[in-house]
Amino acid sequence: MSVTRIATRYAKSLIELAIDQDKLEQVNADIHTLNAAAQHHELKLMLKSPIIHADKKNSVLDAIFKGKIDTLTMSYLQLLVNKGRENYIPEIAAEFTTQYKLLKKITRVTVTTATPLSDAVLNDLKKKLLASDITSDNLEVLTKIDPELIGGFVLEFDNKRYDASVSHKLEELKTQFQKNLYIKEF
């Protein structure tokens, strides 16, 4: 079975459990904590190791997370270890986050600019996006800085990209000039 299918199934079951037990927000916070911890090299190696027995992995995870995450999330984590799916924790966490955002109708928008945006400009951008009805009512705006854009911005969300950067406009001009549309032959 593919990693995507495994991650989707396990994430969906966790969301359904969390909704049934009215713990969706707590489990979402726990998943972020778990994903951050799973990025540590030593923990990642321990989880992927076929030599370390499931009991030992459970005791290590218990020592790290007990009392810090909800009992539902802890039980779910132990289930993943017992089923041999612990090496998929980052993928399951990413898929859980995706499904959570779909459920809560949260649109993640990434704005890349050449220089940092002021709060006023960022708030104005949010208002325009909300007024346009191309995003949901809940916006999660991430900002990135890329000096190579020279000016303008690049807006990305829902697998769409709007490039209004100066570097993009210069590339378009370069392409047009290379086509020799402006040279008259005598």
Tell me what percent of the residues of the chain surpass a pLDDT of 90.
73
Question: pLDDT tens digits for 167-179?
Answer: 999 999 888 878 8
The bridge status of strand 138-145 relative to strand 106-113 is: parallel
Q: Is 127 helix (H, G, I), strand (E, B) or coil?
A: helix
What domains sit in the chain, N to C, each tagged with a CATH number? 3-102 (1.10.520.20), 105-178 (no CATH)
**pTM of the full structure:** 0.75
Predicted pLDDT of residue 38: 86
Which stretches of the chain drop beneath a pLDDT of 50? Answer: none
Tokens of 82: 């017992």
pLDDT of residue 21: 96
Non-local (6+) Cβ contacts of 148 within 8 A are 114, 167
**pLDDT at 82 (0 to 100):** 95
147-156 pLDDT, tens digit per residue, is: 999 999 999 9
What would the two tokens of residue 157 be? 């969300």
Alpha helix ranges (H) inside the chain: 3-20, 24-38, 41-48, 54-65, 71-82, 89-103, 119-132, 166-178
